[in-house]
Amino acid sequence: MNSKIPNIDHDLYILKKVSLVVGILSFIIGAILVHFDYLNQASILFLITIFFFSWNYILRNKYKNYKKIYTKYLSEYNAMDILNYGSFEFTLENLIYKSKRNKEIIDWNEFSKFEIIDSQHVLLLNKNSDWNLIISQTEMDKSDFIKILQFIKNRLK
């Protein structure tokens, strides 16, 4: 978490690569099947190819949007990316962030203030400014995001 370069979502990167490889393989196998006059099987593989290329395109756009958001606010607020399919737990005493790699317990007193960005992201500014947290609405339901936003407003008055 001490890195100054945003590290955008390792799992999303892996999904992009897997969908691209599966799409390319299904296209190649479909082309071979067309050559040997197995048109029904080839058409199914071409549909699979279209699905995986579309999925790859969607994941690529999502990755670019996440990267744009986090790099935009990285320079201004020194915000570190916490977007790697971790989970937040909100308690009265502290905020707990758990990911595959680590678990951070952060006391609410360590945050100086919060800001709402584009009405879809909450930026929690840390007092020592080594790292800050961004919690995005895209990571949860809208109703949960509103509840969390109200909870953060109450905790950081």
Residues 55-87: tens digit of each pLDDT: 989 888 887 777 777 666 655 544 444 444 567
Residue 56, C-beta contacts closer than 8 angstroms, at least 6 positions apart:
16, 19, 20, 23
Reference 94, options 136, 141, 151, 24; nearest CA is 151
Note the pLDDT tens digit of each residue in 86-141. Answer: 677 888 888 887 777 778 788 888 888 888 877 778 878 777 766 677 777 776 77
- Answer with the residue of higher pLDDT: 1 or 33: 33
pLDDT of residue 3: 41
pLDDT of residue 52: 94
